[in-house]
Chain A
Amino acid sequence: MFATLLAMTLGVTSDEELVRRFGSGDRSAFSELVRRYQSRVYSLCFRWLRDPAKAEEVAQDVFIALYKSLADFRGESKLSTWIFRVATNHCKNRLVYGNRRREDRHESIDAPVGGDDDGPVKQYAIDAPGPDASINRAEASKLLQAALDALDEDQREIVLLRDVDDLSYEEIAELLQLPKGTVKSRLHRARAELARRLSRKVGLEDVV
C-alpha cells in the first residue's frame, strides 16, 4: 500500500521538484529522472545513430551530462527541452565524428540504385506490398529507419522530436529556436516526405 502510494507520488512529481531534490543531495531523484526519460532518450539516439551500442553509449553520455549540470540547472527552460537538446546535439556530433572516421558508412534501404534520385529503389524484403502483405515489428522498425534516413537532417530531427519523443510544438520551437509557425510547416513537410517514402515500400495498413 505504501509502495503504491509512493509510486503514485513519484508518478506525479514534477521534473522541477526532482531537480530541487537532487540539488539537496537526493540521488534517487536523478534515478527517477533517468527512469522517466531513458526510453525516449535512447529511442532518439537509436534513430539517429542506427546502432544499439552507440545509442546506449551516447544516451548514457546525455545522462552523465545531465548529472553534471543538474545542480546548476536554473529552470530557464523545461528540463525535457534541455535533455532532448543535449541528446540531439550529442547524436549529431557523433554522426559528424563517425563520418570523419568513416565509422558509419551504411547503405540506405531506400537509396535509389545508381544514385539517381528518380531511379528504382533497391528492393529488400518488402518489395511488393499488396493486400495480403504483412510485416513484423522488426521489419517495420527497419522500414521506418530507412525512411527516416532518407529525410534530410532537419526533417528527421523534427519528426523524431515530435513523433518519437512526443515533444510539443512549443518545446520543439524552444529546442530548435524556431518560431512555432516554422515548426508547424517543417513538421508537415517532414511527415509528408516520410509518408511518401513509406508508401513506396509498403501499404501502412498492412503493417502488423
Chain B
Amino acid sequence: MTDPRAPENLSALLDGELDPDEVEAVERALREDPALRAELHALQEAMEFTREHGPVEPPAGFAERLNARIDAELAPPSLWERLRDALRQLPWEGLALAAAGALVLFFVQSAPKQTPATTGGDDAGVDAVAQGRPELGVEGAPALAPAAAPSPPPTALAQGPEAGPAVATPDAVAQARPRSNPSLRLPDPAPSDAASESGQDGLASAELSAAAPADPTRGSLGAGGQKGLDAAMSYRLRASDKRVLSQLSELARLNGGQLIDASTGEAMDLRAFDSATQAQVVMRVRADRVTAATTALRRLGELDYLARRDDLLYGSGAVDVAIDVQLSEGSTR
C-alpha cells in the first residue's frame, strides 16, 4: 500500500477510489495529523464547489437544433432531392437552345413575308429573365429586379422555379447559333462581363448580369471587384440573434466564399456586431453557387435555418450578394 500520508490519497479518498485497507490507513493518519485534515477539508471544498457550479445546462432547444443540423447535413436525400439532382445533370442549356431554335424557326417560317419586323421580343426576353425568377420569400426584400438598361438583352427562355437550367446564356447562344441554324436571326447578345471575366460557366453570371439592384443604394455593396455583378441580388433578413450571422458566415464559407462587413470591406468579425442593431454585410459566394445560396437564404429567412450542405458544394468563380441584416434590439448574444 502507498504511504497513507501521500497527498494524492486524499483526493482518492474523496473519490472513493481507495481500497478498504487504504481507507483505514488514511483515516488513521487523518486522526493523527491536523494539517492533513485541513488539507483534506480544502480539497473537499474545492471539489464540491466545482461539482456544484461546474455543470452548465445547455441552452433551451439544444437537442432540437442538433436534430435540425443532422437532418440538414447528414440525412439521406429525399426522393424529390434525388430527382432534382438528377434533373440538374441534364443538359438543360442544350435542350433550351434546341427549343428556342425550333420556336424561332417556327415563327420565321410561319410569319407573313410582308409583316414588318418588330423589336418587341427583346423586351420580352428581359421580362422572362426578370419575371421567371420567383420571389425569394425572404422577409421584406424582392428577389431579382429587372435590368436597368440591358441593351440589347440576352435571349432568355421560359424557366422553372430554380431558374438556372432554363436560362440561355449569351455565350452559349453565341456559340450555338451558327452550328444549329445559320438562318436564325437572333439579336447579338450583350457581352457578359461576369462570364467573360471569370471564364466560368456563365449560367449564374448571366442571370445576374440581366438583373439590376433592387435598391440602387446597394450598388456599392456588391462590388467585390467583379464588374457587372454589383448587388445583383439583395436580401433582407431579420435576425433574432447573432447566430444568424454565424449561419450566414457558414453559408458563405460552404459556397466557397466569405461574409464581408460592408462598412469596412473586410472579412466580417462577428464580435463587431455585439452592440449593433443593424448590419449590412456582403456574402460572397462562388458564381455557380448562387442558386444554391439563394435556396439556402430562403430557408434561412423562412425557417431560420441553414440549408443542407449537399446543396452547397461545387463550381468556381465568385459573386457578391448584399444582405441587410436586421438585428433585434438587445438580442445579440
With A43-B54, A163-B50, A199-B42 given, is the CB distance from A34 to B11 under 8 Å? no
Tell me, in angstroms, the Cα distance from A204 to B12 when the chains sit together.
Answer: 21
Tell me, in angstroms, the Cα distance from A68 to B17 when the chains sit together.
Answer: 35
Complex contacts, A47 vs chain B, CB 8 Å? 54, 56
- A41 (CB) vs chain B CBs: closest residue: B58
Contact B43 A184 (CB under 8 A): no
With A53-B333, A60-B65 given, is the CB distance from A188 to B7 under 8 Å? yes
Contact B17 A169 (CB under 8 A): yes
With A162-B15, A184-B12, A198-B46 given, is the CB distance from A140 to B53 under 8 Å? yes
Contact A198 B49 (CB under 8 A): yes
CB within 8 Å of B: which A6-62 residues: 31, 34-35, 38-40, 42-43, 46-47, 52-53, 55-57, 59-60
Complex contacts, A84 vs chain B, CB 8 Å? none
Contact B55 A40 (CB under 8 A): yes
Contact A188 B58 (CB under 8 A): no
Q: How many contacts between A and B, using CB within 8 angstroms?
A: 121
Stretch at the interface among B28-36, B67-75, B131-139: B67-75
Query: How many residues of B are counted as interface, with CB atoms below 8 angstroms from the partner's CB atoms?
Result: 39
- A46 (CB) vs chain B CBs: closest residue: B56
Complex contacts, B333 vs chain A, CB 8 Å? 52-53
- B39 (CB) vs chain A CBs: closest residue: A192
Complex contacts, A60 vs chain B, CB 8 Å? 62, 65-66, 69
Tell me, in angstroms, the Cα distance from A92 to B159 when the chains sit together.
Answer: 49
- B50 (CB) vs chain A CBs: closest residue: A163
Contact A187 B66 (CB under 8 A): no
Contact B10 A188 (CB under 8 A): yes
Cβ of A100 < 8 Å from any Cβ of B? no
Cβ of A121 < 8 Å from any Cβ of B? no
Q: Which residues of A contact B (CB under 8 A)?
A: 31, 34-35, 38-40, 42-43, 46-47, 52-53, 55-57, 59-60, 63-64, 67-68, 103, 137, 140-141, 143-144, 159-160, 162-164, 166, 169, 184-185, 187-189, 191-192, 194-195, 198-199, 204-205, 207
Q: Which residues of B contact A (CB under 8 A)?
A: 7-8, 10-12, 15, 17, 39, 42-43, 45-59, 62-63, 65-67, 69-70, 73-74, 242-243, 246, 271, 333
Other contacts beyond A56-B59, A103-B271, A163-B47: 5, CB < 8 A: A39-B58, A192-B7, A192-B39, A198-B49, A204-B48
